[in-house]
Structure formats: C-alpha cells, structure tokens
Structure 1
Amino acid sequence: MLTTHYLPGTPCWIDATSPDLDASVAFYAGLFGWRSVSLGPEHRDYRLCQIDGKTVAGIQRARADNADPAWLTYFWTPDADAIAKTIEQAGGAVTAPPLDIQGQGRMAVCADPAGAAFAVWQPGANKGLGMVTDPGSLGWVELHVPGHAPVRAFYEAVFGWSITDMPMGDLPYPVIFPAEGGEMSAVGGIAELQPGDHPHWLPYFEVPDCDATVSTAQRLGGTVWAPETVDEVGRMAFLADPHGARFAVITSSA
C-alpha cells in the first residue's frame, strides 16, 4: 500500500494541468473537500491541494504548448539526472529534461516505450505528498498500456520494481512492488488499454462512498463511466474533470 515513507520508485506526487486553474480548484474542492494554497507568481500560481493542512495533490496552469489536460504521476528518485539517463537507455524518452523547481526539488518529465507520460521527483524542501490512502487522497496508480511485457521490462530496469501477476477475475493483474519494499508495499498495477485509448497512468483517489462521489462529480460537470465492484478490492469508477483530465475513485474493501 502507498505510504508517505517514500522508497525509490514509489509514487510521491501527482498534479493536474488545467486551462482554467480556478475552475479546476473549485471542481476538486467540491468533489473531495480539498483546500488550495497558491505558491505565488514565481511558481505560476501553482496550487497545493490539501486536507487538514496535508498536501494531497497539485494543480498547475496549462502552458500554451501543453497537451490535453491530464493528471501526471511522479515517482521518487534520489537522483533525477541519473534516472533520466537510465530511462533513455531502457528505451523511454525524457520529454522535459531535469530542472530545479526553486528549492522545492528537481524533476524530469518522461515517457515509457508505450508512450505513457510520467515524471520523476528528487525531493528538496518538498518531500512529497503529505497524505495518501485516506479519503480524498491518492490510494493507487494504474498504468494502461497495450500489452504488458515491454513496459514491465522497462520499469523493472528503471526503478527495479518487482511486478507480480495477481488473480483478479478471469485474468491476472500485474501488481507493482518497489525494489526496497515488502509484501505489503504494492503501489499500483498494470491494466490492458481499451481500444481507441492512448497509454496513460491513472491515479485512484480513495473515497468513503464511490456512488455518492460519482453523483457529486456529475453535478459538478465531470464525466463518469459506470461504477463497478471488484470482489475483495472495492467499488470504483473512472471519471474525468470538466476539462478532460482523467482519474478514478475507489471505496476500498475493508
């Protein structure tokens, strides 16, 4: 499970890009109860989204050359420059080279061989998310790609992950464990890409009542795909915010 005791290769940050920062902040505040804090003009009014003073996500204003609004998952690394080189050597791409974020940390934006975007984060003053797995915070990440073998080899080479097939219904579900974690350290999974979709990482937010959250999302202008229940996992739904950034919500089984 996710924790805020970050190990190399674990999800440590997520943020969404938006063409309308205030509208996105209002949507997620209404959905999850987040309160936002601006980092000021020197950080382009980047918003820290918080619950009880603990940061659970970020939202940034889309630049003119940004792709469609989306959530971006960041993975913890002790050395952003070294891992950027490893990513290229393993067949991935570095789409935004390592750069310092004014004392907060050092980051790079990358893509795996299938084209799914992700980022790496070398912490400075910003050590990572302050809350995970609690209601309104990140509970899981999932990679959606066509075929698993090539990307499994890539991420194993880059982060040293152990990826284990777990039974889920009629098909195995590859589950991701960090290199330095134990049997309870799973942080994400890999899902088969749906026809016509593009490879992506999808964040799951824990919520106390999936169906109530779905209803709220629709009222706030979000798009919702039908919720489903997965035995021994929980009830979940795929959503998109009013600008099209996709995410999921889950009410985990006890």
Structure 2
Amino acid sequence: MGIVPAGTPCWTDLATPDLADARRFYPELFGWTGRVAPEPEAGGYTDFLRHGQAVAGAGPPAIPEQVPIWSIYVAADDADLVAGRVEEAGGQLVVPPFDVFDRGRMAVLSDPAGATLCVWQPLTMPGGEVFGVPGAMSWTELVTPDPEGAKIFYELVFGWQPDEQPTGSAGHTGWRLGSQIVAGMTTPLGDFPPGAPGYWSVYFGVTDVDATAARAAALGGAILVPPRDTAAGRCTALRDPQGALFNAITPP
C-alpha cells in the first residue's frame, strides 16, 4: 500500500539527459540526498531523499529525443484497471502497464489535450513518503487549454470532481476526491502557443521562495516567473540547467 490513497498524486520524477548534473543541482537547491537504484537496468535512477524519506526521483529519458521533464504519478490500487478507462474517456494510453522491478506497476497516459501523467500501483515502493513540507512535493496542477474536456476525462479515469475556485482564485479549479482537494487545474497564460498540448506541473515546498529562486539561478537554472504572491501562496516558476520546468511555493 502507498502512503496516499488511490487517486491521489503520490510521486514525481525527472527524466533528464544529464542525470549527474541533476544529482548536483537539486540536492544543492533543496537539501536532498540521493539514493541510486542498484539494478543496472535502472540506468542510475535516483531517489531523492529529504531527511531519509523519499520525495522525488530522477532518471534517464525513456527515448533519446525526450525533452527534460518532471512527471506526475497518481496512485492506483490497480494500474491495469485505470489504464483500461483511458481511451474510453477520450485519452491515449502512451505506455501500457508494466512492472518496475519489485517496486510497483505503472502506466503512462495522456488526456484529450495531450497532458501526460503516470499511474503508479505501489508494491515495495509506495511513492513519496512525505508531502506538503519544505523540500517535498506540495502541489500538482494541470495547465490545459481544454478544461471542459479535462473535467470529463479525469472524472472517468480517477473519479475526480471539479471544485471551482477552491482558493478563491479566478480561473483555477480544484480536483476533489471525496472530501479532499488532491490537485488543481488552470488555463494557460495568454502567450501559450496555439495547438500546444496541456501539461502537468509540480510544486515543491520551500521556506523562502525568493531565496530559492535566486539559488536556482546561481546554480545554473533560470527564473521563468519571478516570485509572486497568489491565493495559494508565494510561488515562482523555475527551469533547471537542462530545461526541465518546476515550481517552488510557500503556502500563506
């Protein structure tokens, strides 16, 4: 069993062509330590730990032309069952369910607007072991040009219900699973390229957003959106040295 209930984001990992530099950049930024998978077939896949607890991972890209990207994983009791709903709901099954050693079973899917995310059925590896604290995944959000299509898709696949403006912020929707808001959704900014696919974004908690942004730039990354106050907290959008996008947030 995982740490979080089925239908809840439970893990995030980075696919990057320069795993060695990711092992440098993120520990220096967030204070993480790394634990490399022992299996040669894992390609050096690394769990990032916060005080000994797993919070994120990083590994080589699945295909050489894959752009560096952080991916979101949603916990499932049965990855095959979830995967079976995807095409009926209007999405695509990008990678059918497969076993990841003895750690778990996963699949990769995309929603009708092209946003990809993963399903994780935990076995020996539950996913993240701590959430919502500095240095750990604190929020995930879908950025999509097709929010109405997303509402249909994610309800059919994960049982999520849209909760309009959960933080009082116009244009934002919360994804509710039972009594809990488990993720968010927003529409793209005005400069979003026409026809570009939607995407899932990850937010890591920090104690000082401004200092984190400055530190990321000093370590070779870039500040895409300077620190700003929002209804959800003070946040910034960043890019790592290889081009992967991520966010840092301090809740209000």
TM-score by length of structure 1 reads 0.92
SS at match of 1:218: helix
Separation in 1 of the partners of 2:197 and 2:107? 21
Separation in 2 of the partners of 1:169 and 1:125? 39
Amino acid at match of 2:159: G
Give the superposition deviation at 1:101.
0.6
**CA deviation digits over 1:39-75, x for unaligned, max 9?**
0223211100001110000000124445211000000
Q: Give the corresponding residue for 1:227.
A: 227
Give the superposition deviation at 1:226.
1.4
Task: Describe how 1:92-241 pairs up with structure 2 within 5 A.
Answer: 92-166=91-165, 171-178=170-177, 181-182=178-179, 185-194=180-189, 195-196=192-193, 198-224=197-223, 225-231=225-231, 233-241=232-240
Give the superposition deviation at 1:186.
1.4
Task: Describe how 1:1-12 pairs up with structure 2 within 5 A.
Answer: 5-12=3-10
Give the superposition deviation at 1:227.
1.5
Separation in 2 of the partners of 1:49 and 1:78? 24
Separation in 1 of the partners of 2:169 and 2:141? 19
Separation in 1 of the partners of 2:63 and 2:76? 29
Give the superposition deviation at 1:170.
6.7
Amino acid at match of 2:99: D
Q: Give the corresponding residue for 1:39.
A: 37
**CA deviation digits over 1:5-48, x for unaligned, max 9?**
41221001110011010101111011101100000223211100
Separation in 2 of the partners of 1:226 and 1:121? 33
Q: Give the corresponding residue for 1:20.
A: 18
For residues 167 and 21 of structure 1, do their structure 2 counterparts lie closer, same or farther at Cα, with a shift above 3 Å needed?
Answer: closer
Structure 2 gaps of 5+ residues are: none
Give the superposition deviation at 1:230.
1.3
SS at match of 1:171: coil
Separation in 2 of the partners of 1:56 and 1:117? 20
Q: How many residues align?
A: 245
Greater CA drift, 60-69 or 213-222: 60-69
SS at match of 1:84: helix
Separation in 2 of the partners of 1:141 and 1:237? 14
Structure 1 gaps of 5+ residues are: none
Separation in 1 of the partners of 2:126 and 2:230? 33
Q: Give the corresponding residue for 1:55.
A: 54
SS at match of 1:27: helix
Separation in 1 of the partners of 2:159 and 2:19? 36
**CA deviation digits over 1:83-134, x for unaligned, max 9?**
1110111111111111001110000011000000100001110111111111
TM-score by length of structure 2 reads 0.93
